[in-house]
Amino acid sequence: KYEIKTILLSSSVMAVFFFAILYNAFARKIDVPACIPYNATFRQSAIKKVDDTHYEVYIIARMWAFDPAEIIVPAGSTVDFYLTSADVVHGFNIERKGVNLMAIPGAVNKTTVNFTDYGTYRIVCHEYCGAGHHNMMAQVLVT
Ligand code: CUA
């Protein structure tokens, strides 16, 4: 009897979580982070302009910096971030944007962010990665 209750409870919790992901992805148009296969050509950081309002940024995290450390885009831009690590696991948090990714060696994580407002958005490593962890940051300048 208790087993049935437990199963029903846990499966309904799972359903709520699943619904929350779908809701965020479609109704609120929030990008759900994607883990994409590691591409061996991703050895160099890059900022690529796709068109006037669309950029792709390839970021490499390593002890204890992000490369590139500064990303400048015009207001109204949509930016696809592709993230990997050259050494250990790092974090990737963009303030005021709700971005929370992991930089994992041998893997690429991707997310998309819309920068509608002018300003400076700091990026910090929020996964402890050694002595220089607290100095590991970058920024997005929206001009
Ligand atoms: Cu990189 Cu903490």
Contact 124, 137 (CB under 8 A): yes
Instruction: Using pLDDT thresholds of 50, 70 and 90, give the confidence band for residue 27.
Output: low
Report whether pLDDT(106) > 70. Answer: yes
ipTM over 0.90: yes
Which residues face 21 on adjacent strands?
Answer: none
- Ligand 1 atom closest to Cα of residue 133: 2
**pLDDT for 41:** 52
First to last CA, the chain: 61
Which one, of 59, 71, 72, 70, lies nearest residue 110 by Cα?
59
CA distance 82 to 80: 7
pTM (predicted TM-score): 0.79
Sign of CA dihedral 68, 62, 59, 65: negative
Tokens found for residue 24:
């965020």
Please say whether the structural domain 33-142 has been given the CATH code 2.60.40.420: yes
- The reply to whether ligand 1 has any atom less than 6 angstroms from the CB of 66 is no
**pLDDT for 4:** 84
